[in-house]
Structure 1
Amino acid sequence: MAKIAFILLCHKDPDAIIAQAGQLTAAGDCMAIHFDARASDTDYARIREALSDNPNVTFSKKRIKCGWGEWSLVQATLHALQSAVEQFPRATHFYMLSGDCMAIKTAEYVCGFLDDRDVDFIESHDFFASNWIKTGMKEDRLIYRHYFNERNQPRLFYTAYEMQKRFGLTRDIPSDLQIMIGSQWWCLRRRTVEMILEFLQQRPDVLRFFKTTWIPDETFFQTLVRHLIPKHEIENRTLTFLMFSDYGMPVSFYNDHYDMLLGQDYLFSRKISPEAHELKERLGQLYASEGVAFGISGEGRKLYHFLTSRGRVGRRYTQRFWEAGNTLGPDREIYLIVCKKWHVAKRLVDQIASETSIPCIEYIYDEQDTPLPDLGGIETTLTKRSRHRRAVAKLLFEHFDSDKLILCVDPANLDVIQDFGGDQAQTRVLEIECEYSDEYLAGHALRVGLAGQNSSAESMARLLPTLRNALAYESEQIRYSKNDGLFHLRETADRLVNEEAIAEFLNLTEVQAKSIMHLDYLFAD
């Protein structure tokens, strides 16, 4: 049965560390603690005294001062690992944690999870081929020597860096190593850790190399595990659930995230907010519990993105440079049918196509598999269509040899409506206003990944009002952006009223409009 030795790097909040150690060792696991030498000696003494009677807790034999991006973080980890290997001979796995991490599964679940998988869990991507580093220096992290800390010694850091660049003082990467990069939150088997420690004794050149690389905690273990362990014995992922904001900052979790966290396919989570006392208490009690069933929904990242990013994506108020001269022309008419329920809009355009000669295209800017004619390749992906939306529309006008064109648009794509509304072409918008039951909204949340099959009723109950408000907001924005040429088809309206709306929208006769709207199941889900 798996027995974990947690490797805890921490530097503050002694009460939280004492509680964390007590909670994680209560189920029989172990912990090796490195408390930053920059932190208070009084706090360290307090932690040692409080945990002195706990045989499942040990401390690094040496405390060092740690700094972000420095080798010191890796060295502190190695000190804690060495202590854990020596003090806990029965430990089968070594799990890297910080003071902000907490378990989101029971010890029973965690042990079963690790027993079923004889692999190391560590995120490791090719340093040069992957896109893991988004901004800042990349190769220069490795080929130059970094002796100073960028954050608290920026002048020395960049002076040394620029001098090496100026005089070409590069160095070679150890020839037998493929440098890998990934998250520093890993879980390694005992024999893997022992192989790493033995390897470092045999290869001081590797140790010297990493000691002067920049941000080595993202590359050191990631590289050595891939170097020493067969690929099929490595699962390229972290078992710690973490997210980052649009600004690259770690997302903190609060009291109302409990159900969401338990539904993620991870064993631990960071960062738990220091103010989330209720969440900490509930998660602390959870780890030692038995017989708890977990429904894995995995909707955390999409849900967070949905709740925080609305209004910052997909809304722009001016043309992109490649579209500036790409107008459709004043003699053309483009009809946008806007509806969140795609099946309703598709039924409507099928009826329009059968009763008129106006070319109809379904969700061209929303759905990859929308049936389209050959337009020379620009139609092949959603990215191309959206980037060159007017060019695509212009080609469709020419393909169908028509001055009229109907397109379906999701109301979330406000920029599409605004873009065509700003063109010389005559643009009309028909908004189909549907009723949204709780069952439909729940299904919509599943379809777009905001919820999973095992999302709790409580999580769904909190999500549905947010979804309903989001749909109302989209409709409101459409009304604000289109004062003229805006028509409405309503599920709650009388059929005669809807016939008049469709006739006016498309300039049709009363007979044509009646034929289009004769479907009894137009709004059916």
Structure 2
Amino acid sequence: MAKIAYILLCHKDPDAVVKQAERLTTAGDYMSIHFDARADPAHFKQISAALKDNPNVTFAHRRIRCGWGEWSLVQATLYAVESAVEAFPRATHFYMLSGDCMAIKTAQYVHNFLDENDADFIESFDYFKSDWIKTGMKEERLIYRHFFNERSHKRQFYASMHLQQRLGLTRSIPADVDVQIGSQWWCLRRRTIEWVLDFTRQRRDVMRFFRTTWIPDETFFQTVVRHVVPEDEIRCRTLTFLLFSDYGMPVTFYDDHYDLLLGQDFLFARKISPEALDLKRRLGLLYAAKDVPFQISNEGTSLFKFLSGRGRIGRRFSTRFWETESTLGRNRELLIIICKKWHVAKRMLERIRQMTNVPAIEYLFNEEHSPLPDLGGIQTTLEKRTRHRRALMRMLFDYYETDRLIVCMDPGNLDLLEDFAGDRSITRMLEIQCNFTDEYLVGHAMRVGLAGEQTGAETIERLLPTIRNDMIFESDRIRDADFEHLGRIQESADLDDNARALAQFLSVPEDKAREIAEVDYLFAD
């Protein structure tokens, strides 16, 4: 059975550190602690005294002062790892933790998982080809030497880097090393840890290089593990569940996140709020439990993005110049069907195709594989279609040699609707308002990744009002936009009302519109 040596880096809350060490070692595992030398000395004495009689706990053989983004974090980790390797010869795995981490599975589950997966778990993406770094410095982290901390000595940090830039003092990355990047929270097998320690002793050139890089805790282990371990033995993921806000800050979990955390396909979570006393209590009891079944839904990341992203999705900072200065054509007519239930809009579109000669295209701004003609590459991705929306639409008008074109759009595409409504062409819109049953909303949540087959009923129950209100909000925003040519048909309205709205939208006689709208299965789910 797997026996884990937890590598704990911490700098505060001695009571929590002691509890964490006792909880994890009670299950037969080990812990090696590095307590930041910057922290209160009394706190370290308290931790040492409380754990001195625990044979499954050791301390880094050297304590150093740690700073965010500095090599000191990697060095502290190496000191703790070296002590763990020496103190715990029976340890099969080494798992990196912080003082804010807690297990979200039982010890039994954790051990079984590692027994069944003979691999190293560490995020390691190509530094230059991946988009792991969203904003800020990238190449500059590596090619310049960083002697100051950007957070505590910002002026000196940037002055040093700018001086190196002016003098052309760049440096090369070691030739045989492909720099990788990823989360610092890893779980590595003993053999891998021993290989990494051998590497640190043999490759002094690589060590010198990383000592003056910026934020090496995101690159050092990620790079070295890829260098010493075969690729097929690496799982490019972390076993610690963590989320980041739009501002790059870790999301904190509180008492009401218990069910959410248990449903994620991870072993630990970071970071748990110090005030989440009930969550800590429940997770502590859980770790010691036996034969607990877990329903893995794994919707945490998508659910967080959904709940925190309302009102921001699809919005842009400014209009591109080629869109501001372009037009679809003054005499052209763009007809837009707006509907949240895409299958309903597609049925309506197919019926219109059968009854008219107007070219019609499905959700071209929402579905990557929506059938489109070859327009020179502008149609290949959703990102290109959206960015060059007016150019794309002009090309479609030209391709079909028509002055009338029908497309489908999601109610969430308000920015697109506003853009086309502001064009010199005539833009007519028809919103199809459907009824949303709980069953449909559950299916919608699963289709978009907010829930899975194993998502608990309590989570679904809390999620449904949010999804329903979000759909109502999107419809209200369309109504509030006060578009000049906006009609509406409703599932709950009678056929005559819907036929009149459809006739006005298509500019066809009402009897023909009635023939289009009277399809029995139009609103069926």
Verify same fold: TM over 0.5: yes
SS of 1:406's partner is strand
Q: 1:513 to 1:158 in 2, by over 3 A?
A: closer
| 1:349-498 alignment runs, 5 A limit | 349-498=349-498
- Which residue of the partner structure matches residue 173 of structure 2? 173
- Which residue of the partner structure matches residue 124 of structure 2? 124
Q: Could you list the per-position Cα deviations for residues 147-173 of structure 1 after superposition, in whole angstroms to 9, with x for gaps in the alignment?
A: 222211223323333333344444443
Deviates more, 1:144-153 or 1:260-269: 144-153
Determine what percentage of the aligned residue pairs are the same residue: 63
Shift of 1:132: 2.6
- Which residue of the partner structure matches residue 84 of structure 2? 84
Which sections of structure 2, spanning at least 5 residues, go unmatched? none
Q: 1:483 to 1:20 in 2, by over 3 A?
A: same
Give me the whole-angstrom Cα distance separating, in 2, the residues matched to 1:452 and 1:270: 22
On the 8 A contact 2:421/2:483 being kept in 1, the answer is no
| 1:338-353 alignment runs, 5 A limit | 338-353=338-353
Give me the whole-angstrom Cα distance separating, in 2, the residues matched to 1:317 and 1:4: 48
SS of 1:352's partner is helix
- Which residue of the partner structure matches residue 310 of structure 1? 310
1:144 corresponds to 2:149: no
The letter of the residue matching 1:454 is Q
The letter of the residue matching 2:80 is A
Q: 1:71 to 1:451 in 2, by over 3 A?
A: same
On the 8 A contact 1:319/1:419 being kept in 2, the answer is no
- What's the RMSD between the two structures over aligned residues? 1.8
- Which residue of the partner structure matches residue 69 of structure 1? 69
Q: 1:82 to 1:374 in 2, by over 3 A?
A: closer
SS of 1:496's partner is helix
Shift of 1:372: 2.4
Deviates more, 1:39-48 or 1:497-506: 497-506
Give me the whole-angstrom Cα distance separating, in 1, the residues matched to 2:68 and 2:455: 37
Q: 1:208 to 1:489 in 2, by over 3 A?
A: same
* Number of equivalences: 525
- Which residue of the partner structure matches residue 51 of structure 2? 51
Give me the whole-angstrom Cα distance separating, in 2, the residues matched to 1:84 and 1:199: 17
Deviates more, 1:466-475 or 1:316-325: 316-325
The letter of the residue matching 1:230 is P
The letter of the residue matching 1:39 is A
| 1:181-260 alignment runs, 5 A limit | 181-260=181-260
Q: Could you list the per-position Cα deviations for residues 13-66 of structure 1 after superposition, in whole angstroms to 9, with x for gaps in the alignment?
A: 112212211221221111111111111111111122222332222212221110
Give me the whole-angstrom Cα distance separating, in 1, the residues matched to 2:178 and 2:501: 65
Shift of 1:483: 4.2
SS of 2:384's partner is helix
Q: 1:116 to 1:475 in 2, by over 3 A?
A: same
On the 8 A contact 1:263/1:295 being kept in 2, the answer is yes
On the 8 A contact 1:23/1:285 being kept in 2, the answer is no
Give me the whole-angstrom Cα distance separating, in 1, the residues matched to 2:232 and 2:186: 17
Q: 1:204 to 1:393 in 2, by over 3 A?
A: closer
On the 8 A contact 1:421/1:482 being kept in 2, the answer is no
Deviates more, 1:189-198 or 1:304-313: 189-198
- Which residue of the partner structure matches residue 335 of structure 1? 335
Q: 1:198 to 1:483 in 2, by over 3 A?
A: closer
Shift of 1:377: 3.1
Shift of 1:182: 1.7
Give me the whole-angstrom Cα distance separating, in 1, the residues matched to 2:166 and 2:373: 55
The letter of the residue matching 2:432 is I
Shift of 1:318: 6.2
Q: Could you list the per-position Cα deviations for residues 461-501 of structure 1 after superposition, in whole angstroms to 9, with x for gaps in the alignment?
A: 11110000000000000001134322111111112221222
Q: 1:432 to 1:34 in 2, by over 3 A?
A: same
SS of 2:7's partner is strand
Shift of 1:77: 0.7
On the 8 A contact 1:317/1:415 being kept in 2, the answer is no
- Which residue of the partner structure matches residue 102 of structure 1? 102
Deviates more, 1:464-473 or 1:219-228: 219-228
Shift of 1:4: 0.4
Shift of 1:451: 1.0
Give me the whole-angstrom Cα distance separating, in 2, the residues matched to 1:352 and 1:454: 40
Q: Could you list the per-position Cα deviations for residues 255-306 of structure 1 after superposition, in whole angstroms to 9, with x for gaps in the alignment?
A: 2222222222211111112222222221121111111122222211111111
Normalised by the length of structure 2, the TM-score is 0.96
Deviates more, 1:191-200 or 1:335-344: 191-200
Shift of 1:435: 0.5
On the 8 A contact 2:344/2:522 being kept in 1, the answer is yes
Give me the whole-angstrom Cα distance separating, in 2, the residues matched to 1:380 and 1:214: 37
On the 8 A contact 2:242/2:250 being kept in 1, the answer is yes
Shift of 1:94: 0.4
On the 8 A contact 1:67/1:149 being kept in 2, the answer is yes
Deviates more, 1:292-301 or 1:170-179: 170-179
On the 8 A contact 2:429/2:487 being kept in 1, the answer is yes
Shift of 1:316: 4.9
On the 8 A contact 1:5/1:95 being kept in 2, the answer is yes
- Which residue of the partner structure matches residue 265 of structure 1? 265
Give me the whole-angstrom Cα distance separating, in 2, the residues matched to 1:489 and 1:251: 42
Which sections of structure 1, spanning at least 5 residues, go unmatched? none
| 1:29-48 alignment runs, 5 A limit | 29-48=29-48
On the 8 A contact 2:339/2:345 being kept in 1, the answer is yes
Q: 1:412 to 1:486 in 2, by over 3 A?
A: same
1:155 corresponds to 2:155: yes
Give me the whole-angstrom Cα distance separating, in 2, the residues matched to 1:201 and 1:292: 43
Q: 1:169 to 1:319 in 2, by over 3 A?
A: closer
On the 8 A contact 1:149/1:157 being kept in 2, the answer is yes
